Amino acid sequence: MVSLLDIIGPVMVGPSSSHTAGACRIGLFARGLIGGQPDSALVELHGSFARTGVGHGTDRAIAGGLLGMAPDDERLRSSLESAEQMGLKVTFTNAKLRGDHHPNTTRITVGRAGQTAKLIGSSLGAGRILITEIDGFRVEISGTYPTLIFVAKDEPGIVAAVSSALAAGGDNIATMRVSRRGKGGDAIHIYELDDPPTESALARIRSLPAARMVRAIGKVA
Amino acid sequence: MYESLVEAVARAESDNISLGELALRLEAEEGVKTRPQIEAALGRALSVMREAVARGSVGDLKSVSGLVGGDAAKLKHPKGPLAGSVFTEVLAAALAVQEVNAAMGVIVAAPTAGGAGVLPAVLLGIGEAKKLGDDVLIRGLAAAGLVGAVVAVRASLSGAEGGCQAETGAAAAMAAAAGIEILDGTPRQSAFAVSLTMQGTLGLICDPLGGLVEVPCVYRNATGAAMALAGIEMALAGIEFPIPSDEVIDTMGEIGRGMDIRYRETAGGGLAATPTGRKLAKDRLVQLKGKKA
């Protein structure tokens, strides 16, 4: 559902809600996906992001998001300089992503303490975003809810185990989606929650034998 | 409810409330935020809008490229026959917000940053002339938000998808509904104001020089605001547009989907592709690369 506050907002640093605010939010999501400030990031700009990104501050906005700055943070203007000071090595390149993507799309590969994660995100207009791919899995995440991402071996009962851990923590699920690469392979679970998941629920989910990756990402929009 | 403006008007009429009041109730019914939280968020948007108008009116801003800035201040001393009217104030405010935006200052995307000058200009311009309170202006923002939400669902709010009609055009339609709301028009008049405004922005292409939100975007916010004033004035006079608002909005979406890629924010056509447009873009992009290195 489209909220009034999506339309009258965000309060943001200009000049473009899709090229600046939306781009910042995709950066923030990538930061959440790697679990904190990345030490490296490869940002591939696709479509209109590639053609007009620099003049719109798309590069500054994504770098700012990776550093944890929100779309209304005036420090976005100097985020590339901040990145250097804060130990984030960020590289921008233009790319033609394969498949059908929104005109304003980026693929971000982030690294932190030896781990890497990759996402594809699109900026849909008015600052709204959609994360469409995480580590090769197709997803649909708006970033308007606290999001729990769980990658696990695809086996019976795994959804019940996660949802009962969330229920035990008192965490309410707003939406959920499970998709997998193939039968018996890995599956990705996306839970959009009303509030950030409790530590106890996260601990229970992390301890599941099938778990490969658990990540709680705060609202970015 | 956000899927149809016609239905929203019918519900507002049957509940005997304004469109803005309906929008506030519907948003609270969603349960994500309480009514006071929603009003506080809109109140914050209102104050950021005011600050942006004030900041841009000083006249000292320059965009990153140096192509725009300082024009809002010129309109503070209008010389034409409409000098001193609400009309010139609205034009100046629309330019002011967009000049702040182009200089990477803080604005409220409404619905987008590229169209962010239209709604504050119309809302604050009328609000100041009529000395309306913030509670009234917040209802105006809510009415505008409802219209924007319908446009988002039925058509598009992205210049890259639907051209400028989806950005300043949508913003003008939203501003028209806001104007009717704060001037105590009826929900039906809001819908007519949306139609009367949007029929004038249909087909508007997105052709920014160098693909940047500067030229003609800054000026198109002023002309978009003028279009909204026209829609408001006609609807309040009792003029009824024969095509229902939902169908006008659908038409905008359809035109956007059929719009050549050159006219959708790519700088491949329109003013961006003129000899001067290309030259200015080339000069400025070189300049940006120089700055970055």
| Interface predicted TM-score (ipTM) | 0.93
B263–chain A nearest CA distance, Å: 12
- The pLDDT assigned to A51 comes to 80
Which of A6, A7, A128, A192 should we substitute to test contact with B (largest number of B Cβ atoms within 10 Å)? A7
DSSP string, chain B: -TT-HHHHHHHHHHHT--HHHHHHHHHHHTSSS-HHHHHHHHHHHHHHHHHHHHHHHSS----SSSSS-SHHHHHTS--STTTTSHHHHHHHHHHHHHHHHHTT-EEE-SS-STTTTHHHHHHHHHHHHTT--HHHHHHHHHHHHHHHHHHHHHS-S-HHHH-GGGTHHHHHHHHHHHHHHHTT--HHHHHHHHHHHHTTTTT--B--GGG-SSTTHHHHHHHHHHHHHHHHHHHHTT---SS-HHHHHHHHHHHHHHS-GGGBTSSSSGGGGSHHHHHHHHHHHHHHHHHH-
Quick one: pLDDT band at residue B1, thresholds 50, 70, 90? Answer: low
Quick one: pLDDT band at residue A17, thresholds 50, 70, 90? Answer: confident
- The pLDDT assigned to A18 comes to 86
| Residue A55 pLDDT exceeds 80 | no
In this prediction the pTM is 0.87
- The pLDDT assigned to B180 comes to 98
Q: Is the dihedral of CA A74, A78, A79, A85 positive or negative?
A: negative
Which of A16, A69, A74 should we substitute to test contact with B (largest number of B Cβ atoms within 10 Å)? A16
Cβ within 8 Å, pair B144-A126: no
| Residue A141 pLDDT exceeds 80 | yes
- Closest chain B CA to residue A55: B212
- The pLDDT assigned to A1 comes to 66
Nearest Cα to Cα of residue B57 among B15, B113, B117, B17: B117
| Residue A193 pLDDT exceeds 80 | yes
Average pLDDT of span B73-93: 92
Cβ within 8 Å, pair A14-B265: no
Cβ within 8 Å, pair B101-A15: yes
B197–chain A nearest CA distance, Å: 18
- Closest chain A CA to residue B286: A55
Average pLDDT of span A116-120: 97
| Residue pLDDT, tens place only, B94-105 | 999 999 999 999
Cβ within 8 Å, pair B113-A17: yes
Please name the residues between 144 and 163 in chain B that touch chain A, using a CB distance below 8 Å. 144-146, 148-149, 152-153, 156-161
Give B152's contacts in chain A (Cβ within 8 Å): 2, 6-7, 125-126
Quick one: pLDDT band at residue B291, thresholds 50, 70, 90? Answer: very low
Gap between the Cα atoms of A93 and A79, Å rounded: 17
A155–chain B nearest CA distance, Å: 34
| Domains and their CATH numbers in chain B | 5-292 (1.10.4100)
A123–chain B nearest CA distance, Å: 10
- The pLDDT assigned to A42 comes to 98
- More confident of the two residues B193 and A6: B193
Give A17's contacts in chain B (Cβ within 8 Å): 109, 111-114, 116
Cβ within 8 Å, pair B157-A11: no
Average pLDDT of span B129-139: 98
Give B259's contacts in chain A (Cβ within 8 Å): none
| Residue pLDDT, tens place only, A175-187 | 999 988 777 789 9
A16–chain B nearest CA distance, Å: 5
B81–chain A nearest CA distance, Å: 33
Q: Which of A27-31, A102-106, B256-260 has the lowest mean pLDDT?
A: A102-106
